[in-house]
Structure 1
Amino acid sequence: LLDEPTASLDAGNVDAACGLIEAARSNGAAIVAIFHDRAVRDRLATRLLPLTPAGAAA
């Protein structure tokens, strides 16, 4: 469970963190994460559950 794992990181460390997350996923880990950075989200996400003020949008 990751809550904004790349927040406040510079570009090099964002790439390193994404690499670690991708490696964990490729080793079979299930990852649930919250991202506000759409570029990171788009790089890592295989499924999305958008949240709105009204709740989860299916």
Structure 2
Amino acid sequence: MRGVKKRNDSLGMWLKRLEAHRGFLKTTVALANKLTRIIWRILTDSVDFNMNKAFSVS
């Protein structure tokens, strides 16, 4: 979360948008939740990580 302002990728855009709507603390928890789910999926299903799919901005 410290370097989110410097990121211009899909993760950075997702975090900036979420922080604008929900605030810093809720965004931090949402990021931790999302990363945990991604790690779980990679470890249990042996799938490849796709940054654009994981942090798509809709």
User: What TM-score, normalized by structure 2, do the two folds share?
Assistant: 0.43
Relative contact order: is structure 1 or structure 2 higher (C-alpha 8 Å, sep ≥ 6)? 2
- In terms of fraction of residues, the more strand-rich structure is 1
User: What TM-score, normalized by structure 1, do the two folds share?
Assistant: 0.43
